[in-house]
Structure 1
């Protein structure tokens, strides 16, 4: 049974989410002390977090950063703030998805199931040998969202790892924006066009910090590709 942690100070919304998810056999916990969100997260050890932006004490962006520093657990924002910048901030702070209020419960459940499939599906089917992808000195472990290069290692979020995996598996060939969106988000109709740009920027930044001798190149009008230093530009 998957465990969901809801961080929402509107008790009516929190109860609606909890009752709906319990019908699908989820173990649902609510945060009660909004000054101790991280402590509740560490104690609960959920498989997924639903997080509001407007909270007492500290906002959801703050708690998203705190959780992300400790875990790669999927985080979905649910907020009445529907501005593009709020959604970009959520992704920049480590969230995996963003749903605006008022929300359709079927969409919420679809996004929860999608995130859980991506986060724990590989282990649920009992794969014995861990998958790894290598390109230009980069080693990606897509089931653990870990990237290493010459002994240095860093954590990626789930979607950052999915994006990098798609580019690495193409081995320097271009992957279209449409293909990336389709593979990363099953319901891309609800994804803002700037979302992919945010993830590309985050992956580029992490690769630079690792000292990787490769970079993600924008191919105007086509998409993106990962390029080793010795390769000529497209």
Structure 2
């Protein structure tokens, strides 16, 4: 399959180098042409993955991440010189799947791109039929990244779905943090510790939006487990 990567980056030298490395590995890449028509170009391209900077003309990357998430579940990877934990948390909370800081290794970027593509479309994506994972009235649809409970629905990212599926499958046991990291990322050497915490927080928030409170319990020194609290 010929995957298309959409590069939303205003530094032309970085954009060109990213495009060259992506195409060297047999993927297709398209650099944004007009920062005022990002959504129009996204619709035309129908990319399989987006590389997105934070500092962009007119609107920042957080804005465009939210806009893309309104219509698509493709993996979104931030690539930014802004290294603060707050920026990384904001990116994840706005729907991003990963955050890479500049200066970066192009090999690391390619490893992350390939990892997310495998998760979303390749070897690790489930393509036969549709699974429904149920727990205490909660229904998780991992293939379409939907969550349902008592008539209400929420949309998950791929990693949020993997996280919740792992917790449901293990219930009522505690799930180790390292196990969750391995399930959600192929290359855990490149994953910051706080990234898992952010994803857990996001899943908790989406469960709360479905009127399910305190469902994910933190077990200090071990990991997380589901807790029926309704």
| Structures share fold, TM-score greater than 0.5 | yes
Determine if the alignment matches structure 1 residue 99 to structure 2 residue 72: no
Using the TM superposition, name which of 57-66 and 36-45 deviates more: 36-45
String of CA shifts for 1:19-62, please: whole Å, max 9, x gaps: 11112221211111112212211221100000011111111111
**2:25 alignment partner in structure 1:** 24
Aligned-pair RMSD on alpha carbons? 1.7
Which sections of structure 1, spanning at least 5 residues, go unmatched? none
Aligned pair count reads: 229
**2:188 alignment partner in structure 1:** 188
Separation in structure 2 between the aligned mates of residue 124 and residue 177 of structure 1, nearest angstrom: 22
String of CA shifts for 1:120-142, please: whole Å, max 9, x gaps: 12697741x21221111111111
Separation in structure 2 between the aligned mates of residue 48 and residue 176 of structure 1, nearest angstrom: 29
Using the TM superposition, name which of 138-147 and 179-188 deviates more: 179-188
Q: Is the Cα contact below 8 Å between 2:5 and 2:29 reproduced in 1?
A: yes
Q: Is the Cα contact below 8 Å between 1:136 and 1:213 reproduced in 2?
A: no
TM-score norm. by structure 2 comes to 0.93
String of CA shifts for 1:167-210, please: whole Å, max 9, x gaps: 00112211011211122122222222221111111111111111
TM-score norm. by structure 1 comes to 0.92
Q: Is the Cα contact below 8 Å between 2:19 and 2:29 reproduced in 1?
A: yes
Q: Is the Cα contact below 8 Å between 1:138 and 1:212 reproduced in 2?
A: no
Which sections of structure 2, spanning at least 5 residues, go unmatched? none
**1:158 alignment partner in structure 2:** 158
SS at match of 2:215: strand
Q: Is the Cα contact below 8 Å between 1:122 and 1:143 reproduced in 2?
A: no
